[in-house]
Amino acid sequence: MQKLTLAQAQHALALHANNTTLTVADLQQLLGKVSVTFANILYVTKVQVAAAHKAQNIQKVTSANVILCSNIAAHTSVYANKVRKSAQDISENKAEDIAEFKPQANYFIHTPVYSIVQHAEHVDKFYLYAIYNNASSVYTHNNNIVTLEHVAEYLTPSAKRDLFNTDGIVHNVTHNIKHRVAVRTIALTNIVSIKARKQLLTV
């Protein structure tokens, strides 16, 4: 995926700063009743810095191409198949463990449109539940794009390790398999635009 430019990142930050949020109704209308669709999402997240640097505002701008699903049957099939296919490419996995793989429950509840999820305890918080195909991210500090090394200077040791962990391998402990399929829950408050089904929603 093409890397974001400074102008694109600054535009996303400006949209995010206006405090307008895409609604559940917006997304329900966009996704409709199509079982599976591809989407491009642009979103902004605030980087959690170490306490000593809490005054610093470092943000991550991400453009991602993802798969969204409107029902559980479609999601279970798409996600599980992608995980099994990815796991087959990692030699240390056992075939019987791969065959047994099933998606796990999490901290959120799926709404009638499966890729829109609600926090189980904080019912006013909604997220977009997306299977990633690919993504491009840049970090900004004081309105300029900065390197990972620059960002690392402001992080805790554990967050710094995560920042440089770029192999993309996920270890599913329950089934003891490793794969490279990424699923993210993106807060609706962080999304500045989403394009799907030849439509564009923006804040």
pTM: 0.86
Alpha carbon distance 49, 178 (integer Å): 29
Q: What is the pLDDT along the chain (203 residues), one digit of tens a residue?
A: 678 888 899 999 999 998 889 999 999 888 877 788 999 999 999 999 999 999 999 999 999 999 998 877 767 778 888 889 889 989 889 999 888 888 776 778 888 888 899 998 888 899 999 989 999 999 999 888 999 999 999 999 989 888 887 777 888 888 899 998 888 899 999 999 999 988 899 99
Instruction: Return the pLDDT at 138.
Output: 94
Cα-based distances in Å from 174 to 27, 80, 96, 104: 32, 14, 13, 9
Instruction: Return the pLDDT at 180.
Output: 87
H/E segment holding residue 27: helix 24-31
Alpha carbon distance 183, 130 (integer Å): 6
Please, are residues 188 and 127 in contact by the beta-carbon 8 Å criterion? Answer: yes
**How many other β-carbons are positioned within 10 Å of the β-carbon of residue 198?**
5
In 111-182, DSSP assigns E strands to 116-119, 126-141, 144-146, 170-172, 177-179
Residues with Cβ within 8 Å of residue 39, at least 6 apart in sequence: 65, 66, 67, 68, 130, 194, 195, 196
